[in-house]
Amino acid sequence: MPDPPVSETDDPADAPDDDGDGPVDSDATAADDPQVGDADVPEEVRKYDRFKKIEGGTYDRANEFLRDRTYITAREWAIARLCADFRTETGVEMTKIGENLPELVPFMTDTYSPQAVNQARASFEEKVRQAGATFLYGAMCDFFTAEELDDVMYEATEVAKFLLEVEGVELSVEEELDAEDRISEVMREVREHSAALRHDECPHCGGELDGEDDHGSNTTAEADD
């Protein structure tokens, strides 16, 4: 099944250009001489072992899963992971990623130009920044109670851990629990300090806010009037 990088995105700026910057078809060369094609694959590409847990998976299935739980597409997920793994002191190896995309990621069936790789990378970064700002505002504006914020963080952490595990990252139970504790601690501090920014005194008990004490930690969710 051909990889649908353009049709699977709702944002035109998120899709590879049609004037030579999109996926590059190299099937003809590989079909003429498979041995030549294998010989041209760099050693680090042949040894790359990410995404092996979804061998045989399709772009559509990966994309549907991500669309239901994140803002990113399967194309952006795959290329973001590759950009992190193929980063050198001089930058990301865009050409190597694009030329070997089908060998690196099972559900990607077309090669990409360096421009298309960079475009997907930039789209991923923009979406992460926008989602981060949205989440942080939600955490700081007192829209969520402490318990609700914990639930949001738990759900987000579970999705992120699942994606890492699909990529091939092995997380022990101890590592997972430690990560959850650290994230919860950071979010408690965010909520406490944001309360100090919004109020001179605690709206719950009237005490002075200095960013140290969580005056709202013992309160429960208030019912709507």
pLDDT in tens, 187-207: 888 878 887 777 665 555 655
Asked if residue 186 is part of any domain, the answer here is: yes
User: Cα-flanking dihedrals φ and ψ of residue 133, to 5°?
Assistant: -65, -40
Are 109 and 94 spatial neighbours (Cβ–Cβ below 8 Å)?
Answer: no
Is 122 in the same domain as 216?
Answer: no
Answer whether residue 29 is part of any domain: yes
CB of 175 within 8 A of CB of 149?
no
Residue labelled with tokens 């950009």: 83
Residue 162, pLDDT > 70, answer yes
* Alpha-carbon gap, residue 2 to 13, rounded angstroms: 21
Can you give the pTM of this predicted structure? 0.69
60 and 155 together in one domain: no
Q: How far apart are CA 114 and CA 98, in angstroms?
A: 6
Q: Identify the domain boundary among 102, 128, 154.
A: 128
SS3 content of the chain, % helix, strand, coil (to 5): 60, 5, 35
Domain assignment present for 134? no
Q: Do residues 161 and 61 share a domain?
A: no
Does residue 215 have a pLDDT over 60? no
What's the rounded Cα separation, in Å, for the pair 187 and 193? 10
Query: Do both 44 and 19 map to the same domain?
Result: yes
Looking at the fold, whether 124 and 48 belong to one and the same domain comes out as yes
Lookup: tokens for 147: 């318990």
The answer to the question of residue 215 being in a domain is yes
- In this structure, the dihedral spanned by the alpha carbons of residues 9, 12, 18 and 24, taken in order and rounded to 10 degrees, is -30
The total of structural domains in the chain comes to 2
Residue 147 shares a structural domain with residue 120: no
Determine contact, residues 204/156, Cβ cutoff 8 Å. Answer: no
Residue ranges making up the domain that contains 182 = 142-225
Question: Which amino acid appears at position 183 of this protein?
Answer: I
CB 159 within 8 A of CB 70: yes
Mean of per-residue pLDDT scores for the chain: 78
Among the listed residues 105, 104, 12, the one whose alpha carbon sits nearest the alpha carbon of residue 62: 105
Q: Say if 136 falls within a structural domain.
A: no
Identify the H or E element spanning 112.
strand 111-112
pLDDT at 56 over 50: yes
**Which of 8-12, 55-59, 123-127 has the weakest average pLDDT?**
8-12
Compute the average pLDDT of residues 170-192: 83
